[in-house]
């Protein structure tokens, strides 16, 4: 059984390795001379236990020297808390960057942890507070606070030996409603084969009087110009992406559309007036061709595997050509005429490997800026199918989004901010953007295969 840590307002008392303070905060690892041997360090040493109750720790220069705290083999259950906090004072003569990392069980390559980082000036004292599910205040790995398996304080490449006073780790705050919501996905799902239901692809996964509003089976030998364009509404890919778009990088054969990603230097759309890029792919957009508000949207696909590739299937707001707005105004997800929002039905970084995708939404903020709000989950897991094809879907309702994989519910989000404007479909294959190791060029060419794209609408809204 996990070691459960509950909030308490009683007087101070020791419970195993836990100390409950009179203020109700939990000291997770009370410091005592006879307990210091349970702490561990890497490229650091514990020098003393100060009269203040803080540890004096010396960290070596370079790398990521750390202090790790003892946690029972069965873990900590901190689900009653918002996060963990530690008071740290920099006794050194140089500024340092210190971080706290909280882990869940799992393969380190999957980054099953949350990290919070602070900058400490010489002789400065701060309380570093990590919020479960956040990395430096932004959405991160959705850490399960009931399964905490690791806790450490580390420095980020200190230039010289550094001395810190480190207080006892404490649980603080109460969990928010977002963290208490149900979880529909866990890493273990990757190893569990999925048997797709017979109805998959024929109807949405929820009951209702549904009408098919978009049905692209790629049965023709060429792209249907009434449904799709290969011209990006903004003229080309993001400046941080490494690919150019070419119509020739799309092929259709035996009912399957294939977007080819390859090393192929040249100009955007093979137009000498446009910028050059080293890699090539293509994209599909429904801008100015088809749009819908609310409904169910679905794709059956096989994803590429080469590192640095990121297929994205999403919805982009479109206020319509009849509004008299320019392209930027029609498409913006910032604060402008209605609730615009970019919604990823799925995104996938190939370096994640099979069985993991992410969901994200972006909205709000002043028009003409890069300031926006966002919500998402980059840790959504699913198991293999017999034929290697997977079906990704999104149910969009007023104030609610629900995501599905192979007919199985994987995520749900309810919020008044959710879009109420019509959107068009977008399929893009960014290459090299936000990829730590860049593009795995030897693994190219690679392919994103799409069997179908469909949308439904409730009859009362059709």
Same domain membership, residue 312 and residue 241: yes
For residue 4, the model assigns a pLDDT of 43
Place of tokens 């008299």: 324
Same domain membership, residue 281 and residue 169: no
Same domain membership, residue 154 and residue 139: yes
Give the number of C-alpha atoms closer than 13 A to the C-alpha of residue 437, restricted to the C-beta side: 11
How far is the C-alpha of 52 from the C-alpha of 170, rounded, in Å?
A: 16
17, 138, 226, 405, 438 from 52: Cα distances, Å: 19, 33, 73, 53, 48
The verdict on whether omega for the bond into residue 457 sits within 30 degrees of 0, i.e. cis, is no
Same domain membership, residue 221 and residue 168: no
Same domain membership, residue 65 and residue 148: yes
Total Cβ atoms within 10 A of residue 3: 18
Tens-digit pLDDT profile for residues 164-186: 999 999 999 888 766 667 788 88
Burial of 354 (0-12, 13-18, 19+ CB in 10 A): middle
Give the number of C-alpha atoms closer than 13 A to the C-alpha of residue 283, restricted to the C-beta side: 28
Give the number of C-alpha atoms closer than 13 A to the C-alpha of residue 83, restricted to the C-beta side: 22
Q: Does residue 446 contact residue 304 with C-beta atoms inside 8 Å?
A: yes
| The total number of structural domains that make up the chain | 2
Same domain membership, residue 92 and residue 240: no
Same domain membership, residue 120 and residue 197: no
Domain extent for 86: 3-180
Tens-digit pLDDT profile for residues 349-387: 999 999 999 999 999 988 777 778 888 888 999 999 999
162-166 and 243-245 as β-strands: parallel, antiparallel, unpaired?
unpaired
* Paired residues of 408 in beta bridges: 405
Q: Among 147, 180, 213, which residue terminates a domain?
A: 180
Q: Which residues of the chain have pLDDT under 50?
A: 1-23
The model's pTM is 0.79
Same domain membership, residue 436 and residue 309: yes
Same domain membership, residue 115 and residue 206: no
Same domain membership, residue 393 and residue 310: yes
For residue 19, the model assigns a pLDDT of 39
How far is the C-alpha of 138 from the C-alpha of 128, rounded, in Å?
A: 15
Q: Among 163, 180, 197, which residue terminates a domain?
A: 180
Place of tokens 């001379």: 33
* Paired residues of 405 in beta bridges: 392, 408
Q: Among 180, 195, 216, which residue terminates a domain?
A: 180
Place of tokens 């059709």: 462
In CATH, what number is assigned to the domain containing residue 434?
2.60.120.200
Same domain membership, residue 197 and residue 153: no
Give the number of C-alpha atoms closer than 13 A to the C-alpha of residue 204, restricted to the C-beta side: 24
For residue 358, the model assigns a pLDDT of 95
Phi, psi of 245, rounded to the nearest 5 degrees: -105, 135
* Paired residues of 347 in beta bridges: 312, 358
Same domain membership, residue 276 and residue 166: no
In CATH, what number is assigned to the domain containing residue 46?
2.60.120.430
Tokens of 194: 């999925």
């Amino acid at each position: 059984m996990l070691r459960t840590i509950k909030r308490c307002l009683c007087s101070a008392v020791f419970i195993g390795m836990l100390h409950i303070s009179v203020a109700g905060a939990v000291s997770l690892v009370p410091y005592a001379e006879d307990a210091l041997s349970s702490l561990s360090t890497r490229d650091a040493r514990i020098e003393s236990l100060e009269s203040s109750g803080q540890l004096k720790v010396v960290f070596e220069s370079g790398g990521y020297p750390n202090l790790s705290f003892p946690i029972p083999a069965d873990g900590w259950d901190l689900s009653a808390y918002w996060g963990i906090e530690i008071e740290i004072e920099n006794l050194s003569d140089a500024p340092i960057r210190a971080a706290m990392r909280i882990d869940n069980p799992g393969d380190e390559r999957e980054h099953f942890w949350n990290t919070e980082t602070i900058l400490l000036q010489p002789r400065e004292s701060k309380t570093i507070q990590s919020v479960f599910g956040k990395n430096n205040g932004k959405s991160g790995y959705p850490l399960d606070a009931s399964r905490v398996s690791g806790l450490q304080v580390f420095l980020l490449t200190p230039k010289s030996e550094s001395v810190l006073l480190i207080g006892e780790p404490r649980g603080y705050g109460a969990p928010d409603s977002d963290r208490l919501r149900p979880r529909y996905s866990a890493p273990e799902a990757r190893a569990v084969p999925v048997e797709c239901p017979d109805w998959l692809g024929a109807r949405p996964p929820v009951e209702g009087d549904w009408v098919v509003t978009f049905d692209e089976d790629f049965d023709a030998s060429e792209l249907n110009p009434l449904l799709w364009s290969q011209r990006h509404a903004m003229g080309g890919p993001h400046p941080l992406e490494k690919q150019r778009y070419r119509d020739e990088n799309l092929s259709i054969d035996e009912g399957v559309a294939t977007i080819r990603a390859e090393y192929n230097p040249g100009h955007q759309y093979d137009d000498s007036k446009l910028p050059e890029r080293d890699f090539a792919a293509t994209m599909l957009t429904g801008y100015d061709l088809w749009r819908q508000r609310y409904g169910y949207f679905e794709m059956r696909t096989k994803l590429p595997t080469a590192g640095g590739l990121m297929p994205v299937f999403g919805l982009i707001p479109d206020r319509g050509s009849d509004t008299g707005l320019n392209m930027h105004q029609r498409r913006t997800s910032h604060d402008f005429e209605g609730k615009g929002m970019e919604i990823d039905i799925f995104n996938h970084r190939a370096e994640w490997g099979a069985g993991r995708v992410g969901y994200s939404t972006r909205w709000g903020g002043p028009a003409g800026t890069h300031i926006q709000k966002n919500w998402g989950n980059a840790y959504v897991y699913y198991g293999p199918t017999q034929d290697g094809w997977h079906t990704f879907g999104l149910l969009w309702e007023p104030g609610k989004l629900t995501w599905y994989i192979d007919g199985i519910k994987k995520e749900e989000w309810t919020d008044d901010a959710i879009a109420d404007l019509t959107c068009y479909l977008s399929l893009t294959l960014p290459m090299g953007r936000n990829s730590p190791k860049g593009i795995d060029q030897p693994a190219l060419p690679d392919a994103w295969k799409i069997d179908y794209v469909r949308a439904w609408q409730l009859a009362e809204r059709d």
